[in-house]
Amino acid sequence: MRPPKGLAPRAGGYRLLVEYDGSRFQGWQKQGPKQTAQGVRTVAGTLERVLQEAGLTVSTLGGSGRTDAGVHALGQVAHLHLSGTNPKYWELQRILDEGLPGDVAVRAVNPCPAGFHARHEATARTYLYQLSLRRTAFAKPYVWWVKAPLDPQRLQEAWAAFRGNHDLGAFADLAKGEDPRCQIHATDFLQDGALILLRVTAGHFLHKQVRRMVGAAVLCALGKEKVERIARDLAAPTPEANLFWGAAAAPAAGLFLEHVHYPGGADLAPLRAETRVL
């Protein structure tokens, strides 16, 4: 596939709205040449490959956040700048629609200023986690079936305990020197059929934070831990607490990057299930 002829380069770039099933991806971030040669599959690497096969040269491609291996996205936002010929927006959409594999799709291609940065300009991010109350034959890649009765009231109380400005040192894998504090704006809870939906919005997230938060809430819902322990470890995290909650982390399958917030952008949609389990 060749890029269309006769289109002059533009000063700006493209803003992409991307969704993907993370089951067979090793996360968003493109890997180095060695990992790529070994067949490590990433979302950014897949997008870049499709563009290159269409004869386009990628200058920069960056996402609003680095989702981990196995984590899905409903509304990942990325900035894209090309060197040389720049297709019109609908033509780039066609190239991506025709070239991308079935587990990743670009929902929208829009213009953006040359300086737009998907991660730096985001004001908040929202993640959704889906817990199933029963075994499901169809939704397994997108839910966590805990295989034991959950107390919804305890689950909701534990989830709400994370709201506020906290030191998440016990609930994340921190890089050396990384600030462990995180302002969690909202923790939403909804039971929809045989699913329990947990949604969290924060200005930023730490590595594996959401999965550890979900795992902690589930332990409380199973009666194996108390909400007071979550509150204690938020107030005074310890290395021992970090190891404990790390071992309790929820699997990646039920986690979705749902929405990325920008000044003047679209409002967050009402909480709803992304896969129905009746």
Q: Catalytic positions, please?
A: 68
Half-sphere exposure in the Cβ direction for 116 (13 Å, CA):
23
| Residue from 64, 56, 79, 80 nearest 28 by CA | 64
Specify the length of the chain in residues. Answer: 278
Contact by Cβ (8 Å): 220, 230: yes
Is 142 marked as a binding-site residue? no
- From residue 106, alpha-carbon distances to 50, 80, 121, 224 in Å are 12, 12, 20, 42
Number of H helices and E strands in the chain, helices first, is 7, 10
Tokens at 75, concatenated? 């509304």
In whole angstroms, what is the distance from residue 71 CA to residue 53 CA?
26
Cα distance between residue 277 and residue 255, in whole Å: 16
Residue numbering of the annotated binding site: 127
Residue numbering of the annotated binding site for substrate: 127
